[in-house]
Amino acid sequence: MHRVQLHYTLSRDAGNALIRNPLPELLQAVAEQGSISGAARALDLSYRHVWGALKRWEEQLGGELIIWGKGQSAQLSEFGTKLLWAERQAQARLAPQIAALHADLERAFAVAFDPNAHVLTLYASHDDALVALRTHAAAQADAGALHLDIRFTGSVDAIRALNEGRCTLAGFHTVEHPAADSLTARTYKPLLQPGLHKIIGFAQRTQGLIVAPGNPLGLGSLADVAHTGARFLNRPLGTGTRVLLDDLLAQAGVEAQAIRGYALNEPSHTAIAQAVAAGAADVGMGIEVAARARGLDFVPLVHERYHLACLKASLDQPATLALRNLLQTPEWLAQMATLPGYSPWQCGEVQAMNTVLPWWQFTRKKRTSEPRKKP
């Protein structure tokens, strides 16, 4: 079976063809000109180049492409004719998709040649406000578009990606005042280092129970989930929501084993909401906006803060500065406020780490001076 390999050309003048292949162009020229020399002149190539290319194609494809007799015009073989027909059919049938792909590639590369545009790679815990921010940022072309390359992953994996140099920013979330002995502290403290990392404020959001319309089981707490035997869906290990859930269970004195479905998980808040909407589960832990988007009910449990972490060295780099400035614009603050369960929180401002994550307490060392010796 012969495979198709696609490639594209990036230049100031790449021509108007949306997708090109040299073989059909050679075959078309031979069919129109009736000779290899004529095809070479039409394509502005040497006779030797066209002849050699056709021979190489015949060897690779295992079939004769051109036939001719003495004193007769060169013609395409049946195999060559079918190849040219196949290419024309594919071009005609796939023209809309090819045009869309062509436009997407040109838009993507336009960023590289725009001195006012920035690209910022962000690994982050799943968050609907970040999805909205990505769209909002890319639309600000007049001020130099900011393109957010967001990879959604667990909070722990996001910070690890930051520490390993795979991204510039990491998105993670914690409760408003995590205790020094909480699972939250034990999870994130080893990953973040004062003096090396900086925290940028982003949002406050509400986490709680995503339930069916009308909350038919009357769930109001995690204890209710355990007592009723409701079918629960969890988030995977390493996600911020899983860390939050385990902290809340500990505070409520509820054992994880008492939650029916604790070992089952879905990769995002959206997937949790979809499962509840489909009747595959009775309840799951997630954010309010995911529940409201699918017409579900929501039982708030806790307010939390969504943080953006970066290395101190990248805090004032152009792309990071562009994001910090964008986060503080009235337009973005107003848009975030429209998301159910969200409100701006110190958006774009650099936060003191021991204030945001109070398991760190920094105190200044008092200077001591030795008593002066009597002469």
| Domain tally, the chain | 2
The CA-to-CA distance between both ends of the chain, in Å, stands at 100
Q: Are residues 128 and 195 in the same domain?
A: yes
Instruction: Clarify whether residues 169 and 287 are in a common domain.
Output: yes
Residue ranges in the chain whose pLDDT is less than 50 = 369, 375
Same domain (yes/no): 349, 325: yes
Residue 182 CB: number of other CB atoms within 10 A? 20
Boundary (domain end) residue, out of 107, 128, 145: 107
Q: Please give the Cα distance from 41 to 28 (Å, whole number).
A: 13
Helix (H, G, I), strand (E, B) or coil at 121: strand
67 in the same domain as 151: no
Residue 142 lies in a domain: yes
pLDDT at 288: 96
Q: Which of 61, 79, 107 is the last residue of a domain?
A: 107
- Show Cβ contacts of residue 251 under 8 Å, excluding neighbours closer than 6 positions: none
- Residue 61 resides in a domain: yes
Name the helix (H) or strand (E) containing 42: helix 36-43
Residue 5 in any domain: the answer is no
Q: Smallest Cα–Cα separation from 231: which of 268, 278, 270?
A: 278
CA distance 166 to 172: 16
The answer to whether 234 touches 262, Cβ cutoff 8 Å, is: yes
**2 assigned to some structural domain:** no
If asked whether residues 186 and 237 sit together in one domain, one would say: yes
Are 121 and 194 in the same domain? Answer: yes
The last residue of one of the domains, among 107, 137, 165, is 107
Which CATH number does the domain housing residue 334 bear? 3.40.190.290
**Do 190 and 297 have their domain in common?**
yes
Q: Tell me if 364 is assigned to some domain.
A: no
Residues 47 and 166 in one domain: no
User: So what's the pLDDT on residue 375?
Assistant: 46
Q: What residue has token string 């404020």?
A: 201
171 and 194 co-located in one domain:
yes
Q: Assess whether 282 and 135 both reside in one domain.
A: yes
Rg (CA), the chain: 31
Please choose, from the candidates 251, 205, 270, 255, the residue with its C-alpha nearest in 3D space to the C-alpha of residue 225. Answer: 255
Tell me, yes or no, whether 326 and 218 share the same domain.
yes
Domain that holds residue 53: 22-107
pLDDT value of position 365: 52
Spatial CA neighbour of 110 closest among 88, 81, 132, 141: 141
Q: How far apart are CA 33 and CA 28, in angstroms?
A: 9
Q: What are the backbone angles phi and psi of residue 301, rounded to the nearest 5°? A: -115, -40
CATH number for the domain that contains residue 96: 1.10.10.10
Give, in order, the Cα–Cα distances in Å from 239 to each of 40, 49, 310. Answer: 61, 59, 18
361 found inside a domain? no
Q: Examine residue 13 and state whether it is found in any structural domain, yes or no.
A: no
- Same domain, yes or no: 261 and 297: yes
201 inside domain? yes
What is the C-alpha to C-alpha distance for residues 308 and 198, in angstroms, rounded to an integer? Answer: 8
Q: What is the pLDDT of residue 1?
A: 64
Report CA-CA distances (Å) from 122 to 24, 140, 274, 342: 43, 18, 25, 20
